[in-house]
Amino acid sequence: MIYTVFYMNCKATQEVCQIIRQQMPPGWVLTTPTEGEDYSAPLSECDFILVAEEVVSAEHIAAAPRLRMIQNQGVGYERIDLNACRERGIFVALTPEGTSGSVAEFTILLILASYRHLIQAAIGVWKGRWMRWELRKTSFDLNAKTLGLVGFGKIGREVAKRAQAFGCRIIYYDPWAPPPTDYAVDRKDSLEALLGEADIVSLHVPLTAANHHLINARTLKLMKPGAILINTARGKLVDEAALFESLTAGQLAGAALDVLEEEPPDPSNRLLHLENVLITPHFAAGTRDALTTKMKAAFANMLRFSRGEALLNVVPELSQLTGENHATQP
């Protein structure tokens, strides 16, 4: 049977869409929107929604009478209306494949770039400044530093594996994640305990109501003087106003953020103008390799649905749904 997949991503280039089509089952159809296009027509004909970062609202779901499954190409699903999905019996599944390793690599990249002032040094060369000595007093090796991971799921564990190769001491805070058995990490009983020890704090938790502004004026004051903050998770985990104050007051040495509270940021965002802040456009998993892996896994899950087989990585809130054409997650 031929199925139609609506790729709900108006910013994807033709090249990206071609990579996606190369992973589709034979005969399946991929429809894509253009920016500003009314989604009603493609939604009315789709069997699956494949979504990256756009909102999937109750109105979108109501406009898709054939829809029975939404496959998120990443792991964050706060933009999808789960209540509307529950009312219609629509599963929402995630795609951790391709994300974990790619984001972990990028996290290490941000740490190293921050510790070595890589962007500042490179821009200096472009502008005719040869800062061989000026940056030395505030540049550091990663070896022997304490890396504190807030969240120890798939991405956090991949970061830990890579950081160990640099000689880091790894500590983490995650009330639900057991420590690994194949390498040494130190589990902390509270976020406060982790913040007080870590030279580098890296966030790897989902955005929930409880985690909103997890890093705020209070928790920033608990961090070691001279520590750096890394965020490749969700922008709203960090109170940006409080982070700005901490950075300008000299409490933190720097921050590297792949995600922001508002994306793209308003040009007036004060963090954009600090030399000790490195900001990238939410592309920690933005490689061709990661996209290919993601799409293989995403379409494999859609195929499971079409065959009535158990789905992988269904969001917990919808894991108890049942239906005649699909099974619950094992």
**Token pair 């894509």: residue:** 32
Determine which one of 21, 54, 282, 317 is catalytic. 282
Give the pairing of strands 29-31 and 4-8. parallel
Catalytic (active site) residue 87: no
- Tokens linked to 221: 């004051």
- Helix (H/G/I), strand (E/B), else coil: 19: helix
Structure tokens at 309: 């087989």
Exposed/middle/buried for 307, CB within 10 Å: 0-12, 13-18, 19+?
exposed
Q: Is 204 a catalytic residue?
A: no
Q: Given its phi and psi angles, is residue 186 left (phi above 0), alpha (psi -120 to 50 degrees) or beta? A: beta
Active-site entry in 117, 234, 304, 326:
234
Contact 29, 2 (CB under 8 A): yes
Task: Give the number of other CB atoms < 10 A from CB of residue 166.
Answer: 15
Of 264, 218, 215, 255, nearest in space to 237 by CA: 215
155, 160, 161, 162 alpha-carbon torsion, rounded to 10°: 90
Please choose, from the candidates 309, 238, 222, 323, the residue with its C-alpha nearest in 3D space to the C-alpha of residue 277: 238
**DSSP one-letter code for 76:** -
Q: Is-catalytic flag, 282?
A: yes
CA nearest 149: which of 96, 98, 196, 205? 205
Annotated catalytic residue within 263, 275, 288, 307: 263
Distance set, CA 119 to CA 115, 126, 140, 144 (Å): 11, 11, 15, 23
Residues with catalytic roles:
234, 263, 282
